[in-house]
């Protein structure tokens, strides 16, 4: 009789057949990963399911598996130009350009009907509440498949979650990430940012005893952000979206916190906050003490918008059999073409990057960025942000990007 875990999840069929102990990791156990076997699990019972995501990519061919979280419609596209900033939500319902009403609030829907009839703060609070209250969610369920993925595609698939999880220790140790510049909060540190750094540090000290504390603390901080969202200026708004990105990475890609269902809900909150932030960046452009600080803010904002979509896209890969439903959005998001500018000192930036920005806008889209890559280029020329973007798009064609 084969080994049965404490969660009642049974060993994979390959380990059962060979009468070997299975470590029950998902999407494939260690033994099958090493031997290149087809790793499939029996369908678990409805009352008890647990998914353990492997944090390191194996060197051999893995088995294919997926996590099913429920069926959702195609996500609306973020506008990335100043001419049209209306974001249409699923089912054709716009997040801010049309009345936001339900049977419960139909008598007071006029306050959130449009940007002209009410403040953006009212819109933000109402639209976020409606999204979270109107969507039904299911507990993530294990779904088995019998075919093996090609040995290059699977590491590409796993690379996204692994690279995103690296943002958490970066936030804890340095207070910065590839989308949050190290000088961004040098003059002023929003409360949300300070909380995020603290909880990232706590997460790195995770034990079975403090796991509930971590999950509950994150949910409490998100609830506080929602309660204060109507008072945000652009700076606090940016900090809130950056914070939520880290919280989502922690909870979505670590099933041991038992908070994936709630995190799945908050993907819609992240989408809403990011969309409003992008719109505000055109209507309320930030002008800081000097050109360098203004660029740091704007580039952090652009990369934050990118990562807000990237996180949701990565989760879609894990839960919808490899479907990246946000690719049309990602393809259009701009960021500074010169990746080295992110690490430049203020003096170097003024001498080298600023003239390029003045000559042309100095920006590129994700699509244009990836089209410029060739096998002759050195991977070492990419910073972590650029490597993450390239690996997600071209990891199969150029395995060097996955190293």
Domain ranges of the chain: 1-72+140-152, 77-134+166-324, 337-403
Neighbours of 80 (CB within 10 A): 17
97 touches 276 (CB < 8 A): no
Neighbours of 317 (CB within 10 A): 20
Query: Residue 302's CB: how many other CB atoms inside 10 A?
Result: 19
Task: Give the list of residues 6+ apart from residue 347 with CB closer than 8 angstroms, or none.
Answer: none
CA angle, residues 201, 197, 219, in degrees to nearest 5: 90
- Say how far apart CA 108 and CA 129 lie, in whole Å: 14
- In a 13 Å sphere around the CA of 58, the CA atoms on its Cβ side amount to 23
Sign of CA dihedral 327, 333, 334, 340: negative
Q: CA distances (Å), 251 to each of 191, 211, 217, 262, 267, in order?
A: 21, 11, 12, 9, 11
Cβ atoms 229, 273 nearer than 8 A: yes
User: Hey, how many other C-beta atoms are within 10 angstroms of the C-beta on 133?
Assistant: 10
- Tens of pLDDT, residues 78-94: 333 333 333 333 333 33
The answer for residues whose C-beta is within 8 angstroms of residue 107's C-beta and 6 or more apart is none
Secondary structure of the chain: what % helix, strand, coil (to 5)?
55, 5, 40
Cis omega (within 30 of 0) on the bond before 315?
no
Q: Which residues contact 22 (CB under 8 A, 6 or more apart)?
A: 2, 3, 11, 12, 15, 16, 29, 31
Q: Two tokens at 38?
A: 């087809």
| Token couple for 247 | 């919280």
As separate numbers, helices (DSSP H) first and strands (DSSP E) second, the chain gives: 15, 4
DSSP-assigned letters across all residues of 9-32: PBPPHHHHHHT------BSS-HHH
> What's the pTM value of the predicted model, to 2 decimals?
0.65
> Using an 8 Å Cβ cutoff, are 326 and 316 in contact?
yes
CA distance 231 to 210: 32
pLDDT tens for the chain, residues 1 to 403 = 443 443 456 788 888 888 888 877 766 777 777 676 777 777 654 444 444 444 444 444 344 433 333 333 333 333 333 333 333 333 333 333 333 333 344 444 444 444 444 455 555 555 544 444 444 444 444 343 333 344 444 445 556 778 899 999 999 999 999 999 999 999 999 999 999 999 999 999 999 999 999 999 999 999 999 999 999 999 999 999 999 999 999 999 999 999 999 999 999 999 999 999 999 999 998 888 899 999 999 999 999 999 999 999 989 888 887 787 888 888 899 999 899 999 999 999 999 888 888 877 789 999 998 888 888 888 888 888 988 888 888 777 777 887 7
CB 278 within 8 A of CB 305: yes
């Amino acid at each position: 009789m084969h080994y049965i875990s404490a969660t009642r999840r049974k060993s994979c069929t390959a380990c059962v057949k060979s009468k070997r102990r299975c470590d029950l990791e998902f999407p494939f156990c260690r033994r099958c990963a090493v031997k290149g076997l087809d790793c499939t699990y029996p369908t678990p019972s409805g009352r008890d399911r647990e998914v353990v995501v492997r944090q390191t990519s194996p060197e051999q061919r893995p088995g294919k598996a997926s996590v099913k979280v429920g069926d959702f419609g195609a996500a609306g596209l973020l506008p990335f130009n100043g001419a049209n900033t209306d974001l249409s939500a699923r089912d054709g319902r716009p997040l801010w350009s049309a009345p936001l009403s339900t049977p419960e609030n139909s008598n007071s829907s006029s306050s959130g009907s449009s940007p002209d009839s009410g403040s953006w703060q009212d819109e933000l609070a109402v639209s976020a509440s409606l999204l979270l209250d109107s969507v039904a969610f299911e507990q993530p369920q294990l779904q088995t498949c019998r075919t093996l993925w090609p040995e290059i595609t699977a590491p590409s698939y796993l690379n996204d979650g692994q690279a995103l999880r690296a943002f958490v220790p970066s936030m804890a140790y340095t207070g910065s990430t590839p989308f949050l510049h190290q000088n961004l909060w040098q003059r002023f540190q929003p409360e949300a940012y300070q909380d995020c750094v603290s909880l990232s540090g706590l997460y790195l000290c995770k034990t079975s005893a403090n796991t509930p504390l971590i999950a509950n603390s994150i949910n409490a901080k998100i609830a506080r952000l929602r309660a204060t969202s109507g008072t945000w200026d652009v700076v606090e708004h940016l900090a809130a979206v950056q914070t939520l990105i880290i919280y989502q990475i922690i909870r979505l890609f670590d099933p041991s916190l038992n908070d994936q269902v709630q995190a799945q809900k908050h993907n819609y909150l992240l989408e809403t906050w990011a969309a409003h932030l992008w719109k505000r960046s055109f209507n309320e452009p930030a002008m800081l003490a000097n050109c360098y600080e203004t660029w740091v803010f704007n580039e952090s904002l652009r990369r934050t918008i990118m990562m807000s979509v990237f996180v949701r896209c990565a989760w879609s890969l894990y839960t919808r059999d490899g479907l990246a439903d946000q690719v049309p959005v990602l393809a259009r998001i701009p960021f500074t073409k010169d990746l080295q500018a992110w690490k430049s000192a203020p003096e170097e930036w003024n001498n080298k990057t600023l003239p390029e920005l003045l000559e042309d806008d100095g920006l590129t889209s994700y699509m244009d960025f990836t089209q410029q890559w060739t096998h002759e280029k050195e991977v070492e020329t990419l910073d972590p942000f650029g490597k993450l973007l390239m690996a997600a798009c071209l990891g199969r064609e150029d395995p060097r990007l996955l190293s």
